[in-house]
């Protein structure tokens, strides 16, 4: 039987209980977590995208939460960090993972989010966020091993940095 949203939260709680003292992070827009120590990260996505990185060899993992596809000319580098933007976030996180001893060829990356919650447009910011994240990974020679983007409902992600596992809860109209 597939896990319902509430069962999924219970499953994640049981997983967390099996790792006493596991650091837990709530990730906001434009934020990132990278760790070679076991930790859990959660974030909520609508039109935003999150990209996870995991290196099975080093057991390092990372995630960022991007609001927009790219910086463009409206936002100066001093105004916002790289993780607010899908393209810069991918490049910056790839560099952080390399600094942790991870080769790009070893990375398992996953892309999530990009929901058109209010209206479906072919070239909405949600669609561009997802497309830009995948394209930025491709520029680095990384093909995502999982992509869960689009649709009309937001998602809550639960990510374990040391295993690369991602658990998703999709919101219904009642959430």
Q: Concatenated DSSP letters for 45-78? A: ESS-EEEEEEETTTTEEEEEEESBS--TTTS-TT
1-46 pLDDT per residue, tens:
344 455 656 777 777 788 788 888 999 999 999 999 999 999 999 9
Phi-psi region of 159 (alpha: psi -120 to 50; beta: other; left: phi over 0): beta
pTM, 2 dp: 0.88
DSSP for residue 26:
E
The CATH code that applies to domain 30-170 is 3.30.1330.200
Rounded Cα distance between 92 and 121, Å, is 29
């Amino acid at each position: 039987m597939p896990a319902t949203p509430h069962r999924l939260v219970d499953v994640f709680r049981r997983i967390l209980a099996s790792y006493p003292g596991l650091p837990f992070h709530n990730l906001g827009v434009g934020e990132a977590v990278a760790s070679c120590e076991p930790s859990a990260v959660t974030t909520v996505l609508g039109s935003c995208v999150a990209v996870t990185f995991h290196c099975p060899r080093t057991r390092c993992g990372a995630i960022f939460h991007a609001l927009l596809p790219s910086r463009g000319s409206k936002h100066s580098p001093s105004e916002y960090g790289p993780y607010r933007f899908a393209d810069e976030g991918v490049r910056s996180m790839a560099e952080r993972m390399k600094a942790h001893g991870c080769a790009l060829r070893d990375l398992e990356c996953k892309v999530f989010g990009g929901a058109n919650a209010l209206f479906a447009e072919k070239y909405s910011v949600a669609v561009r966020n997802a497309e830009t994240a995948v394209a930025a990974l491709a520029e680095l020679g990384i093909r995502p091993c999982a992509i869960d983007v689009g649709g009309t409902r937001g998602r809550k992600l639960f990510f374990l940095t040391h295993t690369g596992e991602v658990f998703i809860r999709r919101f219904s109209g009642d959430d």
